[in-house]
Amino acid sequence: MNDAIITVQGLKKRYGSRVVLDGIDFAVQRGSIFALLGENGAGKTTTVRALTTLLRPDEGIARVGGFDCVREAANVRRIVSLTGQFAGVDELLTGRENLRMMGRLYRLDRRTANERADRLLERFDLVETADALAKTYSGGMRRKLDIAVSLLAEPQALFLDEPTTGLDPRSRLHLWEMISELARGGTTVFLTTQYLEEAERLADRIAVVHRGRIAAEGTAEQLKRLVGGGRIELSFRSEAEAAGGARLLNGRIEDRSVSVPVAQEGSSFEELRLALNLLHDFGLEPTGVEIRKPTLDDVFLGLTGDARKEAAG
């Protein structure tokens, strides 16, 4: 990759005998949004902590902006910011005070700190509540304030660990817009999430972490291609007809519908035509037909489910 701001190679971390990261590799392009997707305990926060210099890996190399996250940690800290999984705002200060205080902690002079605080309040739609104590904020407002604090130092790379967990759909949408806007402004955004929709909506590239390894990485489209071309779903008048259809098409039956996997992307119309012809030859006419493209859920369940079966077997 020519302009990677983040590179990770062979990253390993264990706690006692528990291997948490088992050799992770990926690269993130400057100015892009990268999503690390994984279940609880997959190693997302651990990866973020290694990249933000809060944790020392046992093996492997993590670099941000060309700096080694262990040997040149101070340089890395100058260009990154982290909004953790659990909000870090001071509840006994107002939104504005939180921002101003953190600005001073980042060693901005008073005027710059105040200016940036005002700008961020505006940008995050917090002007009206800027002078209310943070403890009166809703979860969504707290989250926005937390991210605003992370932006005070104008980082090149912003790490967001599960930025929208626990937020209602409207707050989530709003935050997604903010995050997209940040990336459009040139900030690289590295986020972790358990929400497939979030990864798909926001990220230029997605890595699925499972059992401490990257199970797959690519654009949402590329990941979907991993699970093939999707499915054709046919419904029938009766369970008996559905059973006949399932036998003919080698499909999976559920009540009165039959689901047939499509082998290749783009071949679904052709396969549908063949399926309908075959059914017709045997006197079966479906009452409904749907072509379903693979979703990121199919990818995720496929990747993480298979690994689980492997482990069990």
Ligand X SMILES: Nc1ncnc2c1ncn2[C@@H]1O[C@H](COP(=O)(O)OP(=O)(O)OP(=O)(O)O)[C@@H](O)[C@H]1O
What SS3 state is found at 301? helix
Q: Which does 46 bind (CB under 5 to 8 A by kind): ligand X, Mg ion, none?
A: ligand X
In this chain, which stretch among 22-30, 45-53, 69-77, 236-244 interacts with Mg ion, using CB under 5 A?
45-53
Asked whether position 52 contacts Mg ion by CB under 5 A, the answer is no
Contacts of 66 (CB under 8 A, 6+ apart): none
> Closest approach of Cβ 12 to Mg ion, in Å?
18
Residue 12 to residues 6, 217, 250: CA-CA distances in angstroms? 16, 18, 43
C-alpha torsion 168→174→178→180, nearest 10: 90
Considering only residues 32, 46, 52, 187, which one is a binding residue for ligand X as defined by CB under 6 A?
A: 46
> Closest approach of Cβ 41 to ligand X, in Å?
4
Q: Which does 250 bind (CB under 5 to 8 A by kind): Mg ion, ligand X, none?
A: none
Q: Which does 174 bind (CB under 5 to 8 A by kind): Mg ion, ligand X, none?
A: none
Asked whether position 257 contacts Mg ion by CB under 5 A, the answer is no
Window 3 to 32, contacts with ligand X (CB under 6 A): 15, 20
> Closest approach of Cβ 2 to ligand X, in Å?
30
- Half-sphere exposure in the Cβ direction for 2 (13 Å, CA): 0
Segment holding 235, helix H or strand E: strand 231-235
What SS3 state is found at 148? helix
Q: Where does residue 300 rank: exposed (0-12), middle (13-18), buried (19+ CB within 10 A)? A: buried
Residues near Mg ion (CB under 5 A): 44-45, 85
Residues near ligand X (CB under 6 A): 15, 20, 38, 40-46, 85, 194
